[in-house]
A and B are shown apart, each in its own frame.
Chain A
């Protein structure tokens, strides 16, 4: 059994590292669990969307499909934000504080941009939550994902501040790396939602 037993009856672990990245760390599994939950919620809401659609003659119900412009722009921005996010993750795993600071700030700027655009998206949905079931489920999807954008942006903001002010220790780099993983999730889960909200009504 590694690391070796010095004397029988004793398993000495004092040389083990005090933190590690990826699925070695508890934080990774915590984040993974949250991602499963939220992924499930998105999946069910999308299922509800198509369930309602299957019970309706016209789709979208007496409303025009959402305009593509802002949604598409935002998708691009979100995808682009994965680059600084990735670099922040790498820097964190190299324990490179300077780079971490830089890329976290860049990520924050991105998050401000896509939150701004998200507001415009809501204005271009062409339906209200209380006009019919179609509007309700579209707004539900958008609201759910926006909640994730906001919380993730806020998490990153707090973490960034911490990276500048300290107090710092090794496991904070793990936090940065897990925060980046969660960011991936928020971006990638947007793609199916984008397809459903903006393209499903067009087919």
Chain B
């Protein structure tokens, strides 16, 4: 039984959607790539002008269409290209993720991280860590759409 479980976990390839702000985190991801740092290929990056651009609907639709985890990356608080965008994002995501948790969606499936353009290593580490968490949680069954399963 134990063996079965682990093998199933190792087989599970999660789909992770990362919303990255154009100015810091996307550049951070770029740096991670340039430095040949490893992070899971299952992370699909979506570039946004600012972490504050994330509409809660984006996150939910990502889950609907098969994402197992959603992570939002932006500039460190205080470093926003638009001065204050990430502060608003922070408040919004606090409320939204708390609400998702309240509905019984595992907390580990959502995350917000601040990654600067110079933090390629942090980007890779964050993604590795997040992917690991999501793999432990297994496939997203609670917020997925039955119609989207193959």
- Whether chain B is bound by chain A comes out as no
* Chain B contact residues, CB within 8 Å of chain A: none
* Chain A contact residues, CB within 8 Å of chain B: none
